[in-house]
Structure formats: C-alpha cells, structure tokens
Amino acid sequence: MTVDFKGRAVIVTGAGNGLGRAHAHELARLGADVVVNDLGGSPDGVGGSSRAADFVVDEIRSAGGSAVPNYDSVATDEGCRGIAATALEAFGRIDAVVHNAGILRNASFGEMTDDKLFPVLETHLFGSIYLSRAVWPTMVQQGYGRLVFTSSSTGVFGRINGANYASAKAGIVGLCNVLALEGEELGILANAVMPVATTRLGGAPDITDDSDEAKAKRAEAVATRPRAQPEWVAPMVAYLASEACTTTHRYYSSAAGRYARIFIGVSTGWYAPERADDTEQAVCYASSQS
C-alpha cells in the first residue's frame, strides 16, 4: 500500500525544530494537513515564542503543503485540548498524532530536584497522555486513528544523568502498550519510535537562528553526520502514522538510516522443583546463567 495522507489531518508536537520539523515536512510532502505544534521554549523548557511554529508552517506552505501553527504547551491538559481543537477547527478531523515534544534537564540522581524532574515528566509523559486523551473521542468516532509515540533507548536501557528522561520515556512505552490494546478493535493503532538524531536537545541551533555561526554549525552537522539528521527518522514516523501501517503495539529503532524492531522479551528461565531446599541459592545461580 502506498503511504498517502491526502485528506488526512496529523498533529505533530514539538514540530518547530529537529525531529518534529522533519516529521511535519515529510507528512506535508505526502499530502497531510499538518498541525505544527510548538511552544517555542528553550531546550530545557523555559519561555515561549510563536517563531518556530510559524517558521515551519511558512516552509510547508511555501513548498505547496497544508499546515497551521499551534503554540499550546503539551504539559497541560488545557494545552492539549487546545491542540486538538486547532486540528478540528482547521481540518475537521484528526487522523494521526505524532507525539514528539520534549525537553531536557539532565542531572545525576542525587541532584534530581523537583524542578528538574517534574517538567520533564510533564512534557514527555503527561503530554503524551493528555493529548492522546484529547484526540481519543474523535478517533473513536471516526473508527480510525494512528498514535506514534517518541520513546527512547534511554527509557529501555537507561543512561547516566537521565533518571527523569528515562522514567518519562519508559512510561511512554507503557502508555503505548495500553492504547494499542484498547484501540485495536476501535481502528486506532499505537506504536513507538526510539530515534537517534542530531537535534536542538543535543546542541543543534534553533531553526529560526539565521546567524552565520548557526548556519555554519548546521552545515557542519550535515557534512560530518549526514545520517544523523532528523530527515532519516521521518520516513519511519510517516509510515507508522499512515493508513499503510497495519501493525500495532510495536517499538522501532531509527538510527543513521537503520530501521529495526525493538523487542522486550523473557528468557527460557529456570523451573524450581516442587519442594526445594535452598531455593534462593538455586534462583541466584539460575539468574547468573540466564
């Protein structure tokens, strides 16, 4: 089946830069009406501006695509209801949501204060919950929907100085699992992508920054790390957001042009006898061998 979004409306959160911008462009290129959501804050979630969302909308429209901006925060229920309302007012439907918005506030666990913990959880995890909840009734009524969550290998495997981020991204996997199970009979599919790319959270300049330094930095990134650009992740996301995708309850890695499915599995394990002395010792041995 051809990946085609004509007549489909898609919300992309955090679409003013990086991965979200690449997703919005690819979806628009494939015919989607796109809601470009971006709060316009800093990489650590401070402040706000309409510049980034407007910039991407202008890019899409200049290329002949269809897009509208939205500046609401995904970190609140009110903001997510506003995002959904923008899509319905502009396009009359919501066919897919690409949950992409995110911030970083790295710290060691011993220094994980509330102001570093909760904003990250609210943006990544609560935002995914709030927006899914806001669009769910529309998708149920349509009998059709695609939810694409942005998780991370950090949420599955962890990393130092990222307890807040890892917790949020692991929670997104759990959310994806449940919505996949509940949504399948309703025509709503849910999958997650775990991308690797050079983005603003990793130090890339804001797309609205037209300084010589920013231009040079972007050019260097393309020249030295071409497959680390967000455009290599966008095709995977576009497929998962499309009618062509018929799978659900899955997670995919997208890194440097390599696309792979990620599994969470259980080993063969060890069966204890009916009555065993020193079972704890046996379990200890068995776990060290698995």
* Residue extents of the structural domains in the chain: 9-289
**How do residues 163-205 score in pLDDT, each as one tens digit?**
999 999 999 999 999 999 999 999 999 999 999 998 888 888 8
Between 223 and 1, the higher pLDDT residue: 223
> What pLDDT is attached to residue 70?
98
pLDDT > 90 fraction of the chain, expressed in percent and rounded? 78
C-alpha 158/C-alpha 111 separation (Å) is 17
> What pLDDT is attached to residue 212?
86
Strand order in the sheet with 250-255: 66-70, 33-37, 9-12, 96-99, 145-150, 188-196, 250-255, 258-262
Q: pLDDT at residue 273 above 90?
A: no
Q: Strands, E, within the chain: which ranges?
A: 9-12, 33-37, 66-70, 96-99, 145-150, 188-196, 250-255, 258-262
C-alpha 37/C-alpha 39 separation (Å) is 7
Residue 165 is among the residues annotated as catalytic for this protein: yes
Q: pLDDT at residue 278 above 70?
A: no
C-alpha 140/C-alpha 190 separation (Å) is 13
> What pLDDT is attached to residue 214?
84
The active-site residue, picked from 71, 130, 144, 165, is: 165
Considering the segment(s) 9-289 as one domain, its CATH architecture is 3-Layer(aba) Sandwich (3.40)
| Average pLDDT over all residues of the chain | 93
> What pLDDT is attached to residue 224?
87
Q: pLDDT at residue 109 above 70?
A: yes
Q: Report pTM.
A: 0.94
Contacts with 19 (C-beta within 8 Å, 6 or more apart), sequence order: 100, 150, 195, 197, 199, 230, 233, 234, 237
**How do residues 44-103 score in pLDDT, each as one tens digit?**
999 999 999 999 999 999 999 999 999 999 999 999 999 999 999 999 999 999 999 999
> What pLDDT is attached to residue 217?
86
Between 290 and 97, the higher pLDDT residue: 97
Could you please report the per-residue DSSP string of 46-86? ----SHHHHHHHHHHHHTT-EEEEE---TTSHHHHHHHHHH
